[in-house]
A and B are shown apart, each in its own frame.
Chain A
Amino acid sequence: MSVVSSPMSVRVTSSRRRVVTRTAIFFAMVLMAIVMLYPFFVMLVTSFKTQNQYLTGHGTSTQSWRQLASTLPVYQQLLNSTIVCTASIAIILVVGVMAGFAFAKLQYRFGNLVFLGMVSAMMVPLQAIVIPEYVNVARFGLTNGYLGAVLVYAALGTPFSIFLFTTYFRRVPDELIEAGIVDGLGYWGVLWRLALPMALPAIATVTVLQFIQIWDDLLVGLLFLQNPAERPITVGLAALAAGRTTSIPQLMAGSLVSALPAMIVYLGFQRFLVRGLTLGIDR
């Protein structure tokens, strides 16, 4: 004898299954959040201890925060990181937007080939080219200023930026651009007044991703910013960690300070970031 389940019982089973699934997903996410947030928690707690308190595991103090600025030129280094980040991202955005628009909307010979060449540069890891890059930049005498590092970051970030903007502008219908032209715009006008405002999610995506990458990077800063006064925060922290007597709580306080800007930028732009990263998936 076969058992035929009524539609009602099917519905009950499927909704119960959904509750179970959602609960499981919820707990998995909580677990992941704990794994992600735990280092921040440790950083925060440790930073409010003295070195002794850290070793013994008891007590709290604001000493490491008070001493941070004297041990490490933290404000200057934050400023250095900000200058390098802003300048690099500005170049990456300007080049990315213009090249992306050109690749997506202007027809010219070998355009696709050039685009492929540009995009394939994304596959080259920094470590593979860092030595020749250093030699080049040093030859131009650019290792003692922000410019060398800015140019290297811009060169590393531009291929991705071009790729993202090209994909983005390809989705803009040709008719929209033609409407702009008939309305009285030239190609520059179309780019700045129509395409650019439409590309805000892509701009946000590139800004956030590059900001996080450049802000958190150590290698380029270490190699290309030789002048101690121009060191970014990551290099400063590394120097602190490499010292003979490292105060772990101070290091944690410094790390927290250095992590904050990237987190703020991420949280501020994340709404656009999701839209920018899912280009071509939605619609």
Chain B
Amino acid sequence: MAEIVFDRVVKVYPGGTKAVEELSLTVAEGEFMVLVGPSGCGKTTALRMIAGLEEITDGVMSIGGTIVNNVLPKDRDIAMVFQNYALYPQMTVAQNMGFALKVRKLPKDEIDRRVQEAAKILRLTEYLGRRPKALSGGQRQRVAMGRAIVREPQAFLMDEPLSNLDAQLRVEMRTEITRIQRLLGVATIYVTHDQTEAMTMGDRVAVMRAGALQQVATPQDLYDHPVNEFVAGFIGSPPMNLILASLQDQDGELVLRFGDQNVVVPASYRTSHRLAELIGARVVFGLRPEDLELASGEGGVLLEATVDLREALGSEKLAYLSFGADSGIVEQEIPRDDGVPVRRRSRVVARLGARADVHEGGRVTLRLNVDNFHFFDPETGASLRAVAS
């Protein structure tokens, strides 16, 4: 078991493509770290650099206190689980699992013992004599895990290991991997583009975008306090509503104005989000879908809207709302320096109770949860929160 440290690690491919940009990240001993981000954000490259499958262009990478920039993959003592499992087709399950140990010339009885032990943990004992092609997707996935476990490595690296499984099996294996990781207590770096996996599995989650690390935090912290518009829009399903609004001071009250809507902002945000300094300027107002609820009476901060679309999911209803032609909420794609634009959607989404009485085309009055307002700089996308996590 060991700590993995990226210290300003850079990866530039021949031809000049910058895949990872000055990545600094520490994965503690026994920690389950999830790297998440859209395709091409550099998360897999970062993982492959730990494995030694990609050379590091600049910066320092260390595993267990040893700098590994120039250490061969076989000498790094890490185990990797690949997206398509990469099981050796000509070997049985037991041979697949024991192969790395055989290469390292461990005694046969020690190999057998470890394979049996791992098979027990993974419930694979009865399949040890089979070839990979005679296994189901879930079983293959478990063999791939087994191959990593028997190594008793310093760290596990997992590259989207669940993406080839069907939805139900994915949920099952999600808990299975988490269970095994907790059981073994080995530092694990898990790459995924699936935010549900990121939120449910990770002790901490690192969000990446265009090769740059955006935020590292616990899943809850990431959800509650995104450091920028990208993280806010990426984490959460449906994502956070992001509305470009102008900030006004109306008779001593802070008011957000978009189209013909006025939203009164509690005074506490003046300091917590430095809004006092931004009166007269434009800000991006962020609100999670669950922070909008149907208003049953007067009081609080209310918004009137028309329901454009309603999605009943059984346990909840999603209402897609518009605020009239003059609302000022339009589909926007904001270019960023790193070349990956941020998208703001034209509709506001509210997550309502399963029994909420909403109909397409109907008018509703919504109460906003004033405790969970988010504000971002419209130019840089950075959160305006004074003590950003």
Contact = CB atoms under 8 A, between A and B. Distances in A.
Interface stretch (A161-169, A182-190, A265-273): A182-190
Given A175-B86, A176-B86, A198-B89, A184 B80 contact: no
A181 interface: yes
Interface string B74-110: 1000111011101011100000000110011000000
Contacts of A181: 52-53, 73-74
Nearest to A181: B73
A178 B82 contact: yes
A173 B83 CA distance: 11
B218 to A, nearest CB: 29
B103 A184 contact: yes
Contacts of B90: 197-198
Contacts of A183: 74, 99-100, 103, 147
Contact of A186 (B53, B74, B86, B104): B74
A128 B52 CA distance: 49
A272 to B, nearest CB: 14
Interface in B346-374: none
B82 A175 contact: yes
A155 B44 CA distance: 43
Contacts of B73: 181-182
A179 B48 CA distance: 11
Interface string B52-76: 1100000000000000000001100
B227 interface: no
A184 B82 contact: no
B146 to A, nearest CB: 13
Given A175-B83, A175-B84, A184 B74 contact: yes
A99 to B, nearest CB: 22
A182 B103 contact: no
Interface residues of B, number: 20
Contacts of B84: 173, 175
Nearest to B159: A175
Contacts of A189: 103
A194 interface: yes
B53 A178 contact: yes
A194 B88 contact: yes
A173 B86 contact: yes
Nearest to B89: A198
Contact of A185 (B53, B74, B78): B74
Question: Of residues B52, B53, B79, B83, which shows the largest number of chain A Cβ atoms within 10 Å of its Cβ?
Answer: B53
B51 interface: yes
Nearest to B104: A184
Contacts of A176: 86, 88
A243 to B, nearest CB: 52
B80 A179 contact: yes
Contact of B53 (A182, A184, A197, A198): A182
B117 to A, nearest CB: 18
Contacts of B80: 178-179, 182
Contact of A179 (B52, B82, B104): B82
A111 B84 CA distance: 27
A280 B154 CA distance: 39
B162 to A, nearest CB: 15
A193 B80 CA distance: 19
Nearest to A198: B90
B248 to A, nearest CB: 56
10 contacts: A178-B82, A178-B86, A179-B88, A181-B73, A182-B73, A183-B74, A183-B100, A186-B74, A194-B88, A198-B90
Query: Which 4 pairs from chain A and chain B are nearest by CB?
Result: A183-B100, A179-B86, A184-B103, A184-B74
Given A176-B88, A180-B88, 20 more contacts: A173-B84, A175-B84, A176-B86, A178-B80, A178-B86, A179-B86, A179-B147, A181-B53, A182-B52, A182-B53, A182-B74, A182-B78, A182-B80, A182-B100, A183-B74, A183-B99, A184-B104, A185-B74, A197-B90, A198-B90
